[in-house]
Amino acid sequence: MTTSQSSTSSSSASVSRRNVLAGAAALAGAATVAGGALPAQAAERSGKGDGHGSHDGKAVVFRNVRPFGTGKSVDLVVVDGKISAGPAPRGAKVVEGRGRAVLPSLVDAHIHPDKTTWGGKWVTRKPAGGIADYVAQDVELFKAQDRSVAERAYGLMSHAVAHGTRAMRAHADVAPAYDLAGVEGLGIAREKLKRALDVQIVGFPQHGVIRTPGTKELLEEAARTGAVDFVGGIDPGGFDQAPVEQLDVLFAIADRHGVGLDIHLHDRGERGLAALRGIIDRTRTLGLTGKVTVSHVFCLPELDDRELGVFGEQMGELGISLTTVAPSADLVLPIAKLQEYGVHVGVGSDGIRDSWSPFGNADMFDRAHKMGWVTDVRLDDELTACFTAAADGGADVMGLAHADLSPGSPADFVLMKAECVPQVVVDAPARELVVHGGVIVARDGELVR
């Protein structure tokens, strides 16, 4: 859940999630779909819940489709869950594309499915004056639910799949108030969707690691038992008031149990930069290159190019990735500049219809649209960059191969009526078919069961 430094308000004023937040590359051309040699070894996918283990290995031809919505129609050949450069094998199944555009499915690099009320009755939210109020309301809402975490999360994650999400990194609250119910619920939902969605689970200490006794022990248990792929953190200085101790605890757990880290960092100014330095130093000292992500990182957009370069070089060297949920123009990470230093940046949905906000829909095509909207872009290459961040950026953060329709890439794509990528970002057209690992997993907005 997105958070920031605590703030105060009068008894008559409410603080929205957006206010709390504020208080705290161009797509690489049209892909080849015919001709050329298949790479000797296709990029392997990583992370638990790899849905590509469930395809039947049979060849499928998606006939008469237009890669990225441009150019002439082609036949897209899929063999063993990957895009093939060769002709369709004899006996291949044929799916008529009817001239539809085919685009890569997208990746949700930061979402909180355990908190959602998706699919349930309307929830009337109460005023909140800061993080403490939101956390208390999280617990109240959790106790009031008549559906389990697994049921609610499955409903939301299924909806995400049906709207073109191929993978997600899902955060689950870990605190004494919940024990490991959130983590366990996401594990059940992940298993049910393994044929359609790749999922990594983060144990997220929304209530703080140090300020809430018992939390670090639960994080340790979740990591030790393999229930999570990552342990999370939250504003070591601003919220937990333990800038050194929190990071020491989290990095020690990750190092002991071989899991990654994904730390929420909303603190701005020097407090945020100090936490980022601490993350960089510990990543280097413990040799955790490529295993650390920092989410939100509101302190970075404030920096000038020289200061950003100092952090960018270090993060790129250590494989520290970042995520943004594009909450406002001034808080979106400077993705293009960070990429110059080799820093991977993914895009996510954040919280969806929870105690923090009634908004959200887990539709990453809509999120790419919102990213373009809040940053006020208008040129085709700028709009395309929003799509690329939601496709390749999230895949890089999760360690997945790009689903770029090139030979050897995962056959994760959507079919829709569209002219080109910029138009897709603006209109977010209906996804008529969603394909994962070469298998149709959703049709006309509904999961194929």
DSSP symbols for 396-421 = HHHT-----SSTTSB--EEEE--S-H
pLDDT of residue 41: 25
User: Helices 305-318 and 269-286 sit at what angle, rounded to 10 degrees?
Assistant: 30
For the four alpha carbons of 61, 66, 67 and 68, in that order, the dihedral sign comes to negative
The model's pLDDT over 193-226, given as tens digits with 9 standing for 90+, comes to: 999 999 999 999 999 999 999 999 999 999 999 9
Place 153 in a pLDDT band, splitting at 50, 70 and 90: very high
Strands 101-104 and 74-79: unpaired
Determine contact, residues 326/336, Cβ cutoff 8 Å.
Answer: no
Q: Which residues of 163-192 are buried (b: 16+ CB within 10 A; e: fewer)?
A: bbbbbbbbbbbbbebbebbbbbbbbebbee
Mean per-residue pLDDT, 60-87: 95
pLDDT of residue 130: 82
The gap between the terminal CA atoms of the chain, to the nearest Å, is 30
Determine contact, residues 251/291, Cβ cutoff 8 Å.
Answer: no
What stretches of 77-180 show up as alpha helix (H) in DSSP?
131-144, 149-162
Instruction: Reply yes or no on whether the pLDDT at 7 is more than 80.
Output: no
H or E segment and range at residue 435: strand 433-436
DSSP symbols for 5-50 = S-----TT----HHHHHHH-----SPPP-SSSPPPSSPPPP-SSS-
pLDDT of residue 274: 98
Place 242 in a pLDDT band, splitting at 50, 70 and 90: very high
Instruction: Reply yes or no on whether the pLDDT at 96 is more than 80.
Output: yes
Average per-residue pLDDT for the chain? 89
Mean per-residue pLDDT, 124-149: 92
Determine contact, residues 277/263, Cβ cutoff 8 Å.
Answer: no
Return the residue matching tokens 């004494």.
Answer: 176
H or E segment and range at residue 321: strand 321-324
pLDDT of residue 132: 83
Tokens of 392: 């390749």
Please report, for residues 42, 204, 395, the alpha-carbon distance to residue 240 in angstroms, rounded to integers and kept in the order given: 43, 13, 30
Return the residue matching tokens 């899991």.
Answer: 259
In the chain, what is the greatest distance between 2 CA atoms, to the nearest angstrom? 71
The model's pLDDT over 245-295, given as tens digits with 9 standing for 90+, comes to: 999 999 999 999 999 999 999 999 999 999 999 999 999 999 999 999 999
DSSP code at position 179:
B
Determine contact, residues 422/388, Cβ cutoff 8 Å.
Answer: no
The model's pLDDT over 155-184, given as tens digits with 9 standing for 90+, comes to: 999 999 999 999 999 999 999 999 999 999
Euclidean distance between CA atoms 174 and 222, whole angstroms: 9
Determine contact, residues 440/95, Cβ cutoff 8 Å.
Answer: yes
The model's pLDDT over 383-427, given as tens digits with 9 standing for 90+, comes to: 999 999 999 999 999 999 999 999 999 999 999 999 999 999 999
Residues sharing a CB contact under 8 Å with residue 287, sequence separation 6 or more, in sequence order:
none
pLDDT of residue 131: 80
pLDDT of residue 46: 32
Determine contact, residues 192/164, Cβ cutoff 8 Å.
Answer: no
pLDDT of residue 129: 85
pLDDT of residue 71: 84
Residue 152 CB coordination number (10 Å): 24
Instruction: Reply yes or no on whether the pLDDT at 14 is more than 60.
Output: no
Euclidean distance between CA atoms 82 and 147, whole angstroms: 37
Residues sharing a CB contact under 8 Å with residue 196, sequence separation 6 or more, in sequence order:
51, 161, 436, 441, 442, 447
Residues paired with 322 in a beta bridge: 294, 345
Place 57 in a pLDDT band, splitting at 50, 70 and 90: low
Euclidean distance between CA atoms 435 and 168, whole angstroms: 16
Residues paired with 107 in a beta bridge: 167
The model's pLDDT over 331-381, given as tens digits with 9 standing for 90+, comes to: 999 999 999 999 999 999 999 999 999 999 999 999 999 999 999 999 999
Determine contact, residues 85/71, Cβ cutoff 8 Å.
Answer: no
Euclidean distance between CA atoms 325 and 348, whole angstroms: 5
Radius of gyration of the chain (CA): 21
Determine contact, residues 178/172, Cβ cutoff 8 Å.
Answer: no
Closest CA to 184 of 232, 139, 151: 151
Euclidean distance between CA atoms 264 and 247, whole angstroms: 12
What stretches of 203-292 show up as alpha helix (H) in DSSP?
215-224, 245-257, 269-286
Determine contact, residues 389/345, Cβ cutoff 8 Å.
Answer: yes
Place 135 in a pLDDT band, splitting at 50, 70 and 90: very high
pLDDT of residue 335: 97
Instruction: Reply yes or no on whether the pLDDT at 152 is more than 60.
Output: yes
Euclidean distance between CA atoms 262 and 201, whole angstroms: 10
